Amino acid sequence: MSKLLAAFSLLCVSILTLFPPNKAFAEEPAPEVLEEVVVTATKTPVPVSQLTSAVEVIKGEELEEKKIKTVADALRLAQGVTVNSSGGPGTLTTVRIRGAESRHTLVVIDGVIVNDPTEGLFDFGNLTTENIERIEILRGSQSMVWGSDAIGGVINIITKKGVGKPTASVFSEYGSFATTREGARTSGAQGPFDYSVSATKWDSSSFSAINYKRGATERDGYHNFQLSSRLGATLPKDGRLDLQVRWWKSHFDFDNFDFLGPADGFGSKTTDNFLILSAIYDQPITSWWSQKLTIGSGADHRFSTTGGAEQSLTTGLVGPVTFPFTSDVKTHNHRIEWQHNFQIGKPLLVTAGYQFREDLAENPDFGVGNEKKMLSSHAGFAQAQVNVLDRVLFTGGFRQDSYNVFGAATTYRATGGYLVHETGTKLRGSYGTGFRAPTIDFLFFTPSNNPNLKPEKSRSMDVGVDQKLFHDKLLLSAGYFWNRFRDLIQSPPPTFIPQNIGNAGIKGWEAGVQYSVFKNLDLRGQYTRTLTRNLDNGLRLSQRPVDQASAGLSYQPFDPLRVNVDYRFFGGRVNDVNNTQKMPSFDVVNVSATYDVTKQWQIFGRVDNLFNKDYEEVLFFGTPIRSVFAGVKYTY
């Protein structure tokens, strides 16, 4: 915490040094219509047409139009992203990119790295879509830019910025599984200041975590309250300061397993309290030199208990919980990054920076050895971006991370591209290395830990082509990717002591299409084929579908009405590392619509799993049957 206070002091001193307190604020220039830019790929704004990495952007407007409740549901439609949920709302929801492990996906919310210091992954089960401006998904090994955790890719979630006149809205929704949702949002800008604040409440009581078709009778409840805010200030000399807060508190019931298989848990529950705080300060120093200071902190307190009784779905008998436990995990993470950008002439942009990262965790309910532990690192990175005549594009850089436990890790990455403006063609490719630091759980927590673990490592390559046609109304893309992982951490029986013994290979193909047929009709689709292999025994990696696809249609037949149809295909896969539990493919169709009755009043509806398909993302765990939701929204 002392390091965070020092960093915030540095932030204040930087502002006061550069700008005297009596300096008048300059008037904001008139807004300009610019090409969409992406920040995640290089940590600098890059126009989409000049990206040489595989990136997808999900906009907040799309989330609102489709009334998508959770970030996980939005990611289910994304290119090369696999989402697996272990039951209903709130339960463990993991995300993989291009077949990598879920702990190999780095998740960032407003500059805060939110991966769990104990497990390594981020659980998407409780993250809703309210007040999100955009989700940037960066595929492939990205450790040179982002450090540890980014072996498979990066998901960067950015909160909305307040713009225009102050406005406010409220909504209410009711639907299947006794679901009720209410929320309010206000946003706007006044002079140099802007704000965007939202609060939502979500309750459900009729969804079983274990699939009810397997015999579960108890319905598991879910309650989520979520608050999000972004406060911004435009500073003199084109500076900007943003302060972000996101907090949720959720309570959900879960089910158990006994010696023979799934069990319906009575009283098994989890309470999750997650707080994210960040400050981001952007400031040009000269016409060719700018800085960005990011300070972020995350705190999670998750309490779980299995309750006292369960019913075996194999035998039908009710008895004491077979594997009882109580877990009281508290984690904290802190991150400070100071980045400098140097524009050296027109073709060359050099970025250099420093990052400090600290993870802390404790789980005293699991016994001696699980008291508070700490993992920290210092990192330096440098990157060069070359743009010759907006045709020849190149990015290259390296990074050095030094940890307090296992030593140092060096990574590098290079990307290249060529634009043929006359034909609307872009050729792109990348190659990079990555690493994943061992988690606090693997290193320290008893009874199974190994303080001598080394980082997991990877190599990643992709090539692709993007083609624009019909005056940019049609965009086609295709690509090939290849990953190699070594020193993967596994915990083999009978000791279950984690060791660096795993090696895996992944390769695949991607294809996508976006077509604005008319002004009021948009089509999109994507397909990914992912081939995974455990290089030690030749088996497939678990819970990764070979084939995965989605397609969507957004149609506005007349001005007040908008209709959205989304189709998702999830291919066959194996559920376990031994490849004995094979799971079939499934497809799901979701439909949503909004109707603006007046400028203030909107009614909306959504049907998930329109054709009532029977499927499981994870073996034994429930997924929604046909679900209907309807609501009303008022804006003033």
Q: First-to-last CA distance in the chain?
A: 41
- Looking at residue 480, the DSSP 8-state letter turns out to be E
Q: Give domain status of residue 72, yes or no.
A: yes
Structure tokens at 478: 């295709």
Asked if 244 and 174 touch (Cβ cutoff 8 Å), the reply is no
Asked if 136 and 38 touch (Cβ cutoff 8 Å), the reply is yes
pLDDT of 369 over the 60 cut: yes
Q: Give domain status of residue 103, yes or no.
A: yes
Asked if 256 and 265 touch (Cβ cutoff 8 Å), the reply is yes
What is the rounded distance in angstroms from the CA atom of residue 106 to the CA atom of residue 149? 5
Q: For residue 402, what are the domain limits?
A: 2-19+49-635
Compute the average pLDDT of residues 391-397.
96
Compute the average pLDDT of residues 349-360.
97
Q: Give domain status of residue 41, yes or no.
A: no
Structure tokens at 603: 């009614």
Q: Which of 170, 125, 134, 6 lies closest to 58 in space, CA to CA?
A: 134
Q: Give domain status of residue 454, yes or no.
A: yes
pLDDT, one tens digit per residue, over 263-319 is 999 999 999 999 999 999 999 999 999 999 999 999 999 999 998 899 999 999 999
pLDDT, one tens digit per residue, over 508-521 is 999 999 999 988 99
Q: Minimum mean pLDDT among 11-25, 108-122, 204-218, 483-497: which range?
A: 11-25
Structure tokens at 429: 């490719």
**Would you place residue 2 in the very low, low, confident or very high pLDDT band (cuts 50, 70, 90)?**
very low
3-state SS string for 482-539? EEEEEEEEECCCCCCCCEEEEEEEEEEEEEEEEEEEECCEEEEEEEEEEEEEECCCCC
What is the rounded distance in angstroms from the CA atom of residue 24 to the CA atom of residue 611? 61
Q: Give domain status of residue 28, yes or no.
A: no
Residues in Cβ contact with 68 at an 8 Å cutoff, skipping those fewer than 6 apart: 62, 74, 129
Q: Give domain status of residue 37, yes or no.
A: no
**Would you place residue 366 in the very low, low, confident or very high pLDDT band (cuts 50, 70, 90)?**
confident
pLDDT of 22 over the 70 cut: no
Q: Give domain status of residue 42, yes or no.
A: no
What is the rounded distance in angstroms from the CA atom of residue 420 to the CA atom of residue 415? 17
Q: Identify the sign of the CA torsion 399, 409, 143, 449.
A: negative
For residues 501 and 364, which has the higher predicted lDDT (pLDDT)?
501
Amino acid at the residue 197: V
Pairing status of strand 309-312 against strand 573-574: unpaired
**Would you place residue 34 in the very low, low, confident or very high pLDDT band (cuts 50, 70, 90)?**
low
Summary mean pLDDT of the chain:
92
Residue with tokens 């140099």: 192
Number of domains in the chain: 1
Q: Which of 280, 281, 234, 239 lies closest to 27 in space, CA to CA?
A: 234
Q: Which of 58, 65, 3 lies closest to 36 in space, CA to CA?
A: 58
Alpha-carbon distances of 506 from 117, 254, 281, 364, 545, rounded to whole Å: 26, 33, 39, 38, 12
- DSSP string over 544-592: --SEEEEEEEEEEEETTEEEEEEEEEE--EESSTTS-SEE--EEEEEEE
pLDDT, one tens digit per residue, over 539-551 is 999 999 999 999 9
pLDDT, one tens digit per residue, over 421-469 is 999 999 999 999 999 999 999 999 878 889 999 999 999 999 999 999 9
3-state SS string for 307-358? CCEEEECCCCCEEECCCCCEEEEEEEEEEEEEEEEEEECCCEEEEEEEEEEE
Compute the average pLDDT of residues 485-496.
91
**Would you place residue 42 in the very low, low, confident or very high pLDDT band (cuts 50, 70, 90)?**
very high
pLDDT of 8 over the 70 cut: no
Which residues pair with residue 360 across a beta bridge?
332, 374
Global pTM reads 0.93
Q: Where are the alpha helices (DSSP H) in 133-269?
A: 143-146
What is the rounded distance in angstroms from the CA atom of residue 120 to the CA atom of residue 122? 7
Which CATH number characterizes residue 319's domain? 2.40.170.20
Compute the average pLDDT of residues 395-407.
94
Pairing status of strand 153-159 against strand 105-109: parallel
pLDDT attached to residue 448: 84
What is the rounded distance in angstroms from the CA atom of residue 299 to the CA atom of residue 359? 10
Asked if 100 and 457 touch (Cβ cutoff 8 Å), the reply is no
Q: Give domain status of residue 14, yes or no.
A: yes
**Would you place residue 370 in the very low, low, confident or very high pLDDT band (cuts 50, 70, 90)?**
confident
pLDDT attached to residue 33: 45
Q: Report percent pLDDT > 90 for the chain.
A: 87
pLDDT attached to residue 24: 37
pLDDT of 29 over the 90 cut: no
What is the rounded distance in angstroms from the CA atom of residue 353 to the CA atom of residue 325? 44
